[in-house]
Amino acid sequence: MSRQADSPTGNRLDPWIDSYAARTRGLTASSVRALFAVASRPEVVSLAGGMPFVSALPVDAMADTVARVIRDRGAVALQYGSGQGDVTLREQILDVMKPVGISAHADDIVITAGSQLALDLVVRVFCDPGDVVLAEAPTYITALGVFSSYQCEVEHVAMDAEGLSPNALRETIAAIKAQGKRAKILYTIPSFHNPAGVTQSQERRTEILQIAQSEGILVLEDDPYGLLGFDGTVPQAIRAQDGEGVIYLGTFSKTIAAGLRVGWAVAPHGVREKLVLANETATLCPSNFAQLTISDYLQTQPWLEQVEVFRGLYRTRRDALLESLATMMPSGTRWTVPSGGFYSWVTLPGGLDAGAMLPRAVSALVAYVPGTGFFADGQGRESLRLSYCYPEPDRIREGVRRLAAVVKAESEIAATFGSPRAAVERDGLGAPTPDLA
């Protein structure tokens, strides 16, 4: 086949357009990506990205760690390593997981290039095209990207202020069965959810696990934020209750350094073997340099004290966000109140469309992520995700002030000319009601 620019099967921009595998259909650049290029300009307050505030790390200690790793263990750090990951780091990860209640064996752990790769490998190992994956409504955008690239069908399960609803889970499973299908995986982010900002209670975790067990559904528990609870309490992982029916994903991205790309999966024995083989296929091995750097940092630094610093920092930013939302947003706006993590989920008043509003928000020098990206099925038009992890508190306040002005202007236009739903709600100041509807 010709690949000339004027090929009848291609087009001038991409002569290979007709050659891509079907699984790439979901790999489309989102329409908001171009706007985010603008949003990264310094004058824009970005409440969009979920970047950890790595500037709070002890830079000198990190520099010493990196120097030590290269100087003392360079021949290992700069070499290929094991497909399962460094055994010393796997043992240290056992300690890192103690606060979430997981007791495992170093052999149960597979280290990957970020937990994102672990997520990809699990889906690669379990899902054929057309397999059904259950996921919260809304869910983590890049998990949707993985499900789509393996051609899974995503069925969303409703949430409320306590996270994934067990009743909704039962109903969704029943509806899937009624269609003659079976759900294979339940993907859940139980603690400090991205993007919803809510946390499953312990009772819920137990109930959700029991439902999954009785239906033979594998639970894929994604827990990047578990240690970042603002009152210092650490929710107990679902994996702490079941070593066979749950795969747990952890990461150092939010507690140490996202740039080192070190995450892990804890999996039952048979699954673990498949994940190691899949890991080798994807990357040969996780980076020895990154693993030894994390390992040295854990060994030589008071890393839990540093997590405490991050908790305090993100709590201050969360407070700045919630106070500004309460004082500035127009009535009828609702948002969740996160008790940890990076995000709050905001629902706009009067049926406003967060995607349609984004260009006006960026013109007003504030950015957020519109809600529809967090769903596989087009829900979420009235919602958006705000993240408070990166900007300083004063910038957060300024960002909300700009956003509130845009929402008010949009509401007035909608009230005058009509909106997709009823006109603007006008009952009192927007209260911080945890609500994901």
- Give the interface with ligand PLP as residue ranges (CB under 6 A): 50, 114-116, 140, 189, 194, 222, 224, 251, 253, 258, 263
CB count in 10 Å sphere of residue 238: 29
Nearer CB in complex with ligand PLP: 263/373: 263
Nearer CB in complex with ligand PLP: 249/366: 249
Minimum Å gap between C-beta 188 and ligand PLP is 10
> Reduced to 3 states, what is the DSSP secondary structure of residue 181?
coil
- The amino acid at residue 348 is L
36: left (phi over 0), alpha (psi -120 to 50) or beta: alpha
Q: What's the per-residue H, E or C state across 40-73?
A: CCCCCEECCCCCCCHHHCCHHHHHHHHHHHHHHH
**Cis peptide bond upstream of 286, omega within 30:** no
Q: Are 109 and 263 in contact (CB under 8 A)?
A: no
Tokens at residue 75, please?
């021949």
Minimum Å gap between C-beta 135 and ligand PLP is 11
Minimum Å gap between C-beta 405 and ligand PLP is 29
Tokens at residue 422, please?
């009823």
Q: Are 45 and 402 in contact (CB under 8 A)?
A: yes
Minimum Å gap between C-beta 52 and ligand PLP is 9
Q: What's the per-residue H, E or C state across 285-325?
A: CCCHHHHHHHHHHHHHCCHHHHHHHHHHHHHHHHHHHHHHH
Nearer CB in complex with ligand PLP: 140/297: 140
Nearer CB in complex with ligand PLP: 49/351: 49
- Residues forming beta bridges with residue 110, ordered by sequence position: 265
Minimum Å gap between C-beta 242 and ligand PLP is 20
- Rounded distance, CA 385 to CA 186, Å? 23
Closest chain position to ligand PLP (CB): 114
Nearer CB in complex with ligand PLP: 138/263: 263
Minimum Å gap between C-beta 4 and ligand PLP is 39
DSSP class of residue 257 equals: I
Minimum Å gap between C-beta 423 and ligand PLP is 36
Nearer CB in complex with ligand PLP: 65/387: 387
Nearer CB in complex with ligand PLP: 328/384: 384
Minimum Å gap between C-beta 250 and ligand PLP is 8
CA dihedral 405, 408, 413, 415 (to 10 degrees): -170
According to DSSP, the β-strands at 334-335 and 343-347 are: antiparallel
Nearer CB in complex with ligand PLP: 118/169: 118
Nearer CB in complex with ligand PLP: 143/212: 143
Minimum Å gap between C-beta 224 and ligand PLP is 5
The residue among 17, 7, 372, 387 whose CA lies nearest residue 194 is: 387
Q: Are 261 and 294 in contact (CB under 8 A)?
A: no
Minimum Å gap between C-beta 189 and ligand PLP is 5
- The amino acid at residue 13 is L
Nearer CB in complex with ligand PLP: 122/276: 122
